[in-house]
Every structure is written in structure tokens, then in C-alpha cells.
Amino acid sequence: MNDPVAPADTLRTALAGLLDGLPPRQAAAAVERLIASYRGATPTHAPILRDRADVVAYAAYRMPATFEAVHAALEAFADAAPAWAPDSHIDVGGGTGAATWAVTATWSGRRPVTVLDWAEPALALGREIAAAHPDLHDVRWQRSRIGAALSLESTDLITISYVLNELAENDRATLVDATASAAQAVVIVEPGTPDGYTRVIEARDRLITAGFHIAAPCPHSAACPITPGSDWCHFSTRVSRSSLHRQVKGGSLPYEDEKFAYVAATRFPTTPAPARIVRKPQIRKGQVILDLCETDPGLARTTVTKRHGDLYKAARDADWGDAWPPAEG
């Protein structure tokens, strides 16, 4: 796997360069309008990203967070399948290509990649940004409506990130079924909200019905042990904030935490985590409290104390979303 720092830094530099010449107020106004559109409860029937100004502003604002969320999901997947790497990749609804950057940050080298999206300005900008990374020079950027009529070629990996919210329920189901027919591995990422989690679980269930095995985050391919409506499974990753982030959201912190829900599923055998930390660890004097989803399947809380020696040290260093216990070596 690659060091994720270099692609992330390259991406941030490329995005910062795009904002040159775009008035800050115009960029901020575009982001605020686009956020309102993306948060709407009604699926859209036209591209949300309408022109270059829209795309530049939203890419600068959202691509780093999407990159980090997808990369975190891919890393968990890669840990469950350490001997596997995709020889081909399709990014459905990929827009400016954040997930494509995340894939190349996880597995090195060039591979045939196709990014499908309805918004031509997003694809054009994605092609422009990808010129900054040598592994992304040969990506095919293809305009295609994402929905029931979408046709997918056979491929090793399909990513679908922050897309399902834009589709009607029937279109979501059809897309997941088409993805299951075309791919050896599927990674779906949605916002870390109750609704985002529900969409991920719906997709997870359809993939399992289609014969897939869950590689991450779940330690099993049985039903999710969370009682519907009582809670939701999601994770968090840290994102460096740009000046545009600070201008739109206010505040001075150099980072923010992106909450996301995801599922990674495969047609080939993997080794899922023995358990997954599903909440931020609670570090207290002499002990660490971990909330786990376990292979059994079920949810459990465990307390690791100083008496556990090296395991206690590992628990103090553990992050939300990590496998537990940590792999040796």
C-alpha cells in the first residue's frame, strides 16, 4: 500500500491552485448553496454541479473530506485482503475523482480506471486535477447518468461514494445490483448520519444476497446487530481544513472530523477484523473502554486495564474504526 500522505498533499496543492482567481465570496456562496442542495431530502433530477465555478468551489471544499473518508474505508478493506490489489477500477458518480485518488493512495501503480458522472463540468475538472498525479494520467472520464439505466463493465473494484443519497430508492437498489454483477469488490461510502447508515445497510444486505462477503467494517456477514432506529454505525476521519473551509464554516481550527458510514464487500475470501471499534475509545485513569462489534455477531463493551500490559498500551493508541485486537508485528 502507498503512503497516503503524498497523494493527499498533492491533491490539496492542486485544489488550492484552482481557487486562484475565483473571488473568495463567490466560492463561499457557491459552497453554501451546494451544501444545501446535497443535504436536501429529495433526490435530484439534474446535475447539482452546474458550471466550473460550482465545481471548483465544491471540489476545494469537499474533495479532501471525501478522499479521507474513502481512503479510511479502503485501508480497512485492504487490511482484510492484504494479498489483493485491484487491476481495474470504476468510480460510479465519482465527480471530480476523490475516490480515484483514494484508490491510488491505497494501492500503488497505474490501472484502467473509469470515472462515471452526470456532470460534465465535474468530469472536466477531475481530469484537470488528475494531471497532478502520474498514476492518474490515463483515467477515462465518462459522462453517464447514474441510475437504473446505468451499464457497468466487468471490473475488479467499484467505488460508490456519497452518491446513494442523490438517487431514488428504486434506483439505489438497481445500481447496487448492477454493481454486484460487474465487480469482484465493492466499496460504498455515505455520510455518517442515521440516513447514510441506513442506505449503507440496505446496500450491504443486497450485496450479501448477491453472494458477496463483508470485508469491512463488520467482522461478519450476518445481519447488523444494531436495532433499527436505536443507533447507527459510523466512523470518523480527520481532515485538514483549507482557508475556504474556515471561511464557510467559521472557526480557526486547522482540521475537522468527517463522519462517514461504509461497507466493503467481495466475491473472494477475506479475513475480516476479529472485532471493530465502533465508538471513540474512552480513555480513563488506568483503563480504556472500547465499544466493539464482534464476530459473534453482536455489540459488546470491554475494559482494558494496565493489568493487560501491552494490550493496554495498544488500547490507548487505538482509534475509532480500528480492528481489535491489533494485528501482531
Same domain, 244 and 285: no
Contact 261, 77 (CB under 8 A): no
Amino acid at 157: L
Query: Is residue 34 domain-resident?
Result: yes
Phi-psi region of 311 (alpha: psi -120 to 50; beta: other; left: phi over 0): alpha
Q: Do 248 and 155 share a structural domain?
A: yes
Q: Is there a single domain that holds both residue 97 and residue 127?
A: yes
What would you report as the CA-atom Rg of the chain, rounded to the nearest whole angstrom?
19
Among the candidates 246, 266, 286, a domain finishes at 266
pLDDT tens series, the chain, 329 aa: 555 447 888 998 888 787 676 666 777 777 777 666 655 554 555 555 666 777 887 888 888 899 999 999 999 999 999 999 999 999 999 999 999 999 999 998 999 999 999 989 889 999 999 999 999 999 999 999 998 789 999 999 999 999 999 899 999 999 999 999 999 999 999 999 999 999 999 999 999 999 999 999 999 999 999 998 999 999 999 988 766 666 655 556 677 899 999 999 999 999 999 999 999 999 999 999 999 999 998 999 999 999 999 999 999 999 999 999 988 75
Strand-pair partners of 235: 260
Residues 6+ apart with CB under 8 A from 59: 15, 18, 95, 96, 122, 125, 129
Q: Which residues contact 29 (CB under 8 A, 6 or more apart)?
A: none
Q: Is the whole-model pTM more than 0.85?
A: yes
Residue entry with cell 479510511: 72
Asked if the structure places residue 327 within a domain, the reply is no
How much is the pLDDT for 114?
98
How many domains is the chain built from? 2
